[in-house]
Structure 1
Amino acid sequence: MLSLQRPLLAACLYLLLPCSHSKILWYTNGFHYQDLSNGNGKDEIYFNGIRLHVESPQHSVSATTGSNVTLPCHYHYEPELTTPRRTRVRWFWLPTYANATPPEAFARESKVMVAMGNSHRSYGSFKGRVRLRRSAPGDMSLVINELQLDDTGRYRCEVIDGLEDESVTVKLALSGVAFPYYSRKGRYHFNFFGAQQACQDQDATLATFEQLFAEWEDGLDWCNAGWLADGTVQYPIRDSRAVCGGKGVAPGVRSYGYRHKILHRFDAFCFTASIKGTVYYLNHTTKLNFTEAVQACANDGSQIAKVGQLYAAWKLTGLDCCNAGWLSDRSVRYPITNPRVNCGPTEPGVRCFGFPPPSVKFGVYCYR
């Protein structure tokens, strides 16, 4: 019985011998899979094969909602190949708000599209809205149609060839405007989810810190704290004063940090980037109460405008009108691009009269 075990023992010992004493067939597909002896003795392996490169000429792209946008991604080989390889591409998306949430709330990347040859598949809210541009060999740029407010974030283009894969990241931002918003019941009535809904009702979404910071750089000064998309509560101050965090404190976007999303209540900072449709002040023979204003827009083949639509028209199309008018949330506002006498402050902006009683008569802004 002992004699039968000796060949097996010898085979086991053979497998444990150093590589220099055994013949091992190394797998290679033309990339990095080289013999470990091809090195400098310091755990560094020399590369002498074909390498896959994935690049993007733009690492940040901005667009407006409702438009089509292209996120560039290209790949090539060094040295160039004489025959084409069969590659696969995968696009992933990490939402903007996921970059700033607490560690326990970090979101995972979501699949946007997977493609190989002429076959492709899209996922989730991107289904039917995305395609690959393929304008030239190696072009795997992602085209997103009918861009939505929630599409912002980081997109990762991953190209796969056998066991080799490389990727590049492109950030998608929206050209738009962040604005403060509060309930007609008064200040500080929204918990986080109420703030989300309030922004959605006005054709907007909760702003990110980056969007609010951009407005602060453009001159936004607002002394009431509001929810942001990442669950923090912040507010932008240009002119330091005692009632807004202290007169001696430097200007900036001030933060209360993360707050309880259900128990704590604040205002909201919303963001809109839509330029689909037209917002206009309705020329009417008489001033209107709120009910009459809604009907007047309907009679004109439109609907009463939302706050986000008015802000977008002001910021993105230059809407300028010195007449106060009703909006769908029962607030009264008017947009000024070119400040002038009798049209409010000396800075451009959307002026707000608050929420007057619905029986008071004003003009109306319609959306078509």
Structure 2
Amino acid sequence: MISLLCITMISLALADSAYGQTATPAPLISVTTDLGGNVTLPCKLQAEESLFFGSLKVTWIKVGEDQSQNEDVLVYMGLLHKRTYGNFENRAFLSDIENGDASLMLIDVSMDDMGRYRCEVMDGMEDIIQDVILEVKNGLTEGVVFPYSPHHGRYNLNFDDAVQTCKSQDAVIASFDQLLAAWKGGLDWCNAGWLNDGTVQYPITKPRQPCGGVNSRPGLRNYGFRNKQMSRFDVFCFASKLQGRFYWLVQPERLSFDEAVQACRDDDAEIAKVGQMYAAWKLEGYDRCDAGWLADGSVRYPISRPRKNCSPTEAAVRFVGFPDKKVKSYGVYCFKAEK
């Protein structure tokens, strides 16, 4: 009985040696790229001979917090079977598989691409597991989240409208992580808004009856995924560091909206956008207690140092409203881009 058991164990060991060893994870690699650029996530075969073994399979996945959240990126099983998945379709390619390089090339990188990726190579000889952390950087690593609703009132934007609205204010639609960070920084807003993943949420730091109830906990209130065409909400935008100068244009008189636009042009600038005011306020500490026109027809002013008659209780961008554009009651904020 013992000799039979020994023979069986030896046979299994020989089989394992013949058909491949258990994959051993390689050291973790970190790669950083710029938003909108291209990047290569490294994963190389141990030996070029494995290409000719006849059973090569390369799988790339994006690793989630748990296995159920993993995303398929790319599968390769020979020249006749190559496939990419979901958002990675037409953006993910193997670098140079014919020369033993299973690295993943990603083009047009977005903030959503950030995370942990796993390369699994099975070739019947020497299996490989390589994890790569992808970081995406640009001005978006430093910025400010702000809620936005258009001049015709709250809850009037479908998802596509929301994306374009943020863009028109020199911003992008915010991500969940950006809204979460803003909430941790004290953002409290009771109107629900779109995020870039198609969910609708809002941040509450001070629970109250109209915003989930007085007995609810602080946090992000989540309406979940909504119909991107039919559903209507506000939006949370994200403005990054300014590439230029935001300023109050000193004028002898108050201006109508059209006069405000022209005054900025006469100063070799443009009337400022909402995202530019938020970026100047949050990232540069801009403070002025004068209500001024902005490009969307709204009137606002940024307060970094709360004081009597100027946002006495908190630092904030104060919203006056969308007044009649013919009214000559306000000044103007301008923006001069870097040249």
TM (norm. structure 2) is 0.69
Alpha-carbon distance in structure 2 between the residues aligned to 1:40 and 1:215: 57
Deviations 1:267-316 (A, max 9, x none): 11111214211211111222211101100110111111111121122222
What SS does the aligned partner of 2:178 have? helix
What SS does the aligned partner of 2:280 have? helix
Select the residue among 317, 321, 333 that pairs with 1:365: 333
Which residue is equivalent to 2:88?
Answer: 109
Gaps of 5+ in 1: 1-19, 21-35, 79-91, 127-149
Alpha-carbon distance in structure 1 between the residues aligned to 2:93 and 2:260: 45
* Inter-CA distance 182–57: structure 2 relative to 1 (3 Å threshold): same
Structure with greater helix percent? 2
Larger Rg: 1
Gaps of 5+ in 2: 1-6, 47-59, 72-84
1:282 and 2:249 are equivalent in the alignment: yes
Which residue is equivalent to 1:131?
Answer: none
Which residue is equivalent to 1:87?
Answer: none
* Inter-CA distance 257–161: structure 2 relative to 1 (3 Å threshold): closer
1:153 and 2:117 are equivalent in the alignment: no
Would you say the 8 A contact 1:56–1:72 is kept in 2? Answer: no
1:317 and 2:274 are equivalent in the alignment: no
Alpha-carbon distance in structure 1 between the residues aligned to 2:147 and 2:21: 56
* Inter-CA distance 219–71: structure 2 relative to 1 (3 Å threshold): farther
1:329 and 2:314 are equivalent in the alignment: no
1:45 offset after TM fit, Å?
Answer: 9.0
Select the residue among 18, 24, 28 that pairs with 1:55: 28
Farther off after superposition, 285-294 or 307-316: 307-316
1:158 offset after TM fit, Å?
Answer: 8.0
* Inter-CA distance 294–122: structure 2 relative to 1 (3 Å threshold): farther
Alpha-carbon distance in structure 1 between the residues aligned to 2:282 and 2:33: 15
* Inter-CA distance 253–43: structure 2 relative to 1 (3 Å threshold): farther
Select the residue among 221, 240, 244 that pairs with 2:188: 221
Would you say the 8 A contact 1:93–1:109 is kept in 2? Answer: no
What SS does the aligned partner of 2:275 have? helix
Alpha-carbon distance in structure 1 between the residues aligned to 2:198 and 2:309: 39
1:242 and 2:221 are equivalent in the alignment: no
What SS does the aligned partner of 1:39 have? helix
1:172 and 2:136 are equivalent in the alignment: yes
What SS does the aligned partner of 1:301 have? coil
Question: Residues 1-368 of structure 1 correspond to what in structure 2 (within 5 A)?
Answer: 39=13, 53=26, 55-56=28-29, 107-109=86-88, 111=91, 124-125=107-108, 150-154=110-114, 166-172=130-136, 174-175=140-141, 176-360=143-327, 361-367=329-335, 368=337
Alpha-carbon distance in structure 2 between the residues aligned to 1:228 and 1:322: 31
Would you say the 8 A contact 2:39–2:105 is kept in 1? Answer: no
Percent identity of equivalent pairs? 41
The residue type equivalent to 2:331 in the other structure is G
Would you say the 8 A contact 2:40–2:105 is kept in 1? Answer: no
Alpha-carbon distance in structure 2 between the residues aligned to 1:221 and 1:156: 31
Deviations 1:232-286 (A, max 9, x none): 1111111111111211111111111122112221111111214211211111222
Alpha-carbon distance in structure 1 between the residues aligned to 2:33 and 2:108: 19
What SS does the aligned partner of 1:236 have? strand
Alpha-carbon distance in structure 1 between the residues aligned to 2:119 and 2:159: 38
Alpha-carbon distance in structure 2 between the residues aligned to 1:46 and 1:249: 55
Would you say the 8 A contact 1:290–1:359 is kept in 2? Answer: yes
Would you say the 8 A contact 2:298–2:322 is kept in 1? Answer: yes
1:331 offset after TM fit, Å?
Answer: 0.8
Alpha-carbon distance in structure 1 between the residues aligned to 2:325 and 2:112: 37
Alpha-carbon distance in structure 1 between the residues aligned to 2:184 and 2:22: 50
Deviations 1:34-69 (A, max 9, x none): xx96938899999799x89453368xx798x89x9x
Alpha-carbon distance in structure 1 between the residues aligned to 2:16 and 2:121: 28
* Inter-CA distance 313–72: structure 2 relative to 1 (3 Å threshold): farther
Structure with greater strand percent? 2
Would you say the 8 A contact 2:115–2:135 is kept in 1? Answer: yes
Would you say the 8 A contact 1:336–1:343 is kept in 2? Answer: yes
| RMSD after superposition | 4.5
The residue type equivalent to 1:227 in the other structure is W
Would you say the 8 A contact 1:53–1:75 is kept in 2? Answer: no
The residue type equivalent to 1:283 in the other structure is V
